[in-house]
Chain A
Amino acid sequence: MRITGHPVLPDLPADEVGFTFNGEPYTAREGEPVAATLLANGVRQLRVSPVAVEPRGIYCGIGHCYECRVWLNNDTQVRACLTPATEGDSFASERTEE
């Protein structure tokens, strides 16, 4: 789903930041939010809603709706549409008990 060879905009740097989402490895562009990297790899579902247990993904894309929240390093919830990965980050839909 990556856009390359855009007719107007210049190409962006290559992927280089390694992270995992639900245990699977992905490589992000520096500074790119994790939701964008996942969508580029065909992953749309970021979590399930806690009550109705329905899938949720990117909705507003600007950090306002919090639909895209995921767990970072099993420690804190972040908005996947805003938060860039740093090398070695572990993102997950659910928090796991120690």
Chain B
Amino acid sequence: MSAEETTEDFDLVVIGGGPAGLTAARDVAAAGGRVMVVDENHAMGGKLRGQLHEDPADSSWWKGWELAEQAEKDAVDAGAQMMTDVVAWGLEPGWTVRLTYPAGRTGGPSQLTSRAVLVATGAVERPMPVAGWTLPGAMTIGAAQVLTNIHRVKPGHRVLVVGMDVLSLTIARAMQLAGVDVVGIVLPPTTVEGSSPRATLSRLAPMAKLAPARYMRLGGHFLGWPWVQALASRLVPRTLRMWGMPLQLRTSLVVIQGTDQVTGAALVNVTADGTPIPGSEREVAVDAVCLANGLIPLNELLATLDCSFLRSPDLGGTVPVHSDTLRTQLDGMYVAGNTIGIESAKIAEKQGALVALSIIDDLGLSSRRGGDAAGAALDLVGARRTMEFQFDANVQRGHDDVQRAWEKSGGRA
């Protein structure tokens, strides 16, 4: 165990070693800053580490594992230090980052003091409460991703995926690649907001580009693809197949079944607007159910501080008010990545590079390594416009709302 009140001093402490945090750490360290990255996982990389899909940009495999290893190596090569298996549980103005080592055996300082702190804590999943969700075998879709792509363990032999969005369909595909029998992808219980077939299908439209390359890029048009035909006709088909997996567009989960662990799920057909159809109830035998209800920016650390927040459904939840150069209302406190809105790892990496420019400038580090933060902020807006897909089609509107709140506050809480 660490000695009481052992302190180390840094120019920048990064909380969360995902794509945003590692990129910022690399650039600030390269500019001569003394940088420490802390992460509660055993390996750096955040959720990037578990990502695996065919990149719609060029049909190559997006291997998050390798990208995460490279991002960590680049940051270390630039001089950044790393600590894994450590939880940052408190922030005190000045700045002091309080640490704990939950496994009780990884020694280290109990706090870090730093001129600047970057909160890059990412996101968590929005819960989908439904009868049976506490049974072993019922898990979030993110847990299924981590198990399948990072730990290489099947979440189940026969798996039901509940919820249809970019994340769930991508992870369903990853499970299929790993040899899991994905028996169906169904809608959330009808009590979940926005879960009707019609609402789901309209949200899925941007996903069309994630289909296999041969179906998806017909000169920029996607009309060869049945989902888009379905959208155009305003009819909701009963089932579409995606890589052979049944996407059951008019079936909702009712309950997850089992005594000691998941043994099945009860399902029901619903009308296009989500009303259950009596008499259509049925059961499916599965040993795992993966629940997908979207992601929420994780802001527990900043919530304890004197800064204001803005609720933005476009960004996935409530985010700290910040400038377009990723400064918060508190001197020396910065934000980047999914903690300020649900987006892809590519955007998170760009945010990491952008926030590094702000930090380098504010700390008066090497001007040679600095750059035009305002220009980088504009580049970020441009990158969003050309991104292959968005978790939320209106994500830029959310960021614009945050920027307005920032300007209105004059950058002060």
Contact = CB atoms under 8 A, between A and B. Distances in A.
B is bound to A:
yes
Interface of A: 1-4, 6-9, 12, 31-33, 36, 39-40, 44-46, 49, 54-64, 67, 72, 75-76, 78-79, 81-84, 86
Given A33-B151, A60-B139, A61-B143, A3 B178 contact: yes
B210 to A, nearest CB: 16
Contacts of B135: 55, 57
A55 B136 contact: yes
Contacts of B298: 64
Nearest to B150: A36
Nearest to A7: B177
B124 A31 contact: no
Given A45-B261, A56-B134, A82-B41, A9 B149 contact: yes
Contacts of A55: 134-136, 260-261
Contacts of B17: none
B170 interface: no
A59 B139 contact: yes
B82 to A, nearest CB: 14
5 contacts: A6-B152, A57-B261, A59-B143, A64-B124, A79-B102
A3 B134 contact: no
B200 to A, nearest CB: 23
Contact of B42 (A33, A45, A75): A33
B137 interface: yes
Contact of B104 (A1, A12, A44, A75): A75
Given A54-B134, A56-B134, A67-B134, A78 B103 contact: yes
B209 interface: no
B153 to A, nearest CB: 5
Given A8-B61, A36-B151, A64-B124, A58 B139 contact: yes
A33 B43 CA distance: 11
Interface in B128-174: 133-140, 142-149, 151-157
A3 B43 CA distance: 20
B125 interface: yes
B261 A84 contact: no
B42 A72 contact: no
A94 to B, nearest CB: 16
Interface in B17-71: 40-43, 47, 52, 61, 63, 65
B364 interface: no
Contacts of B147: 36, 39, 58, 61
B177 A6 contact: yes
Nearest to A49: B134
Of A58, A79, A81, the most chain B CB neighbours within 10 A belong to: A58
A31 B140 contact: no
B102 A78 contact: yes
Contacts of A3: 148, 152-154, 178-179
Contacts of A8: 52, 61, 63, 177
B105 interface: yes
Contacts of A81: 143, 146
A36 B104 contact: no
A9 B61 CA distance: 10
Given A61-B142, A62-B143, A40 B65 contact: no
A63 B134 contact: no
Given A59-B138, A79-B102, A31 B261 contact: no
A45 B136 contact: yes
Nearest to B135: A55
A86 B260 CA distance: 28
A69 to B, nearest CB: 10
Contacts of A62: 41, 47, 124, 142-143, 146
Of the listed residues B41, B85, B144, B153, the one surrounded by the most CB atoms of chain A closer than 10 A to its CB is B153
Given A60-B125, A64-B124, A82 B261 contact: no
Per CB-CB distance, the 5 closest pairs between chain A and chain B, nearest first, are A61-B143, A57-B136, A44-B136, A36-B151, A3-B152
Given A45-B260, A76-B104, A6 B178 contact: yes
Given A61-B140, A62-B143, A1 B154 contact: yes
A17 to B, nearest CB: 13
A83 B40 CA distance: 10
Interface string B235-256: 0000000000000000000000
B212 to A, nearest CB: 14
Contacts of A49: 134
Interface centre among A8, A62, A64, A84 (most CB of B within 10 A): A62
Nearest to B125: A60
A44 B159 CA distance: 14
A58 B143 contact: yes
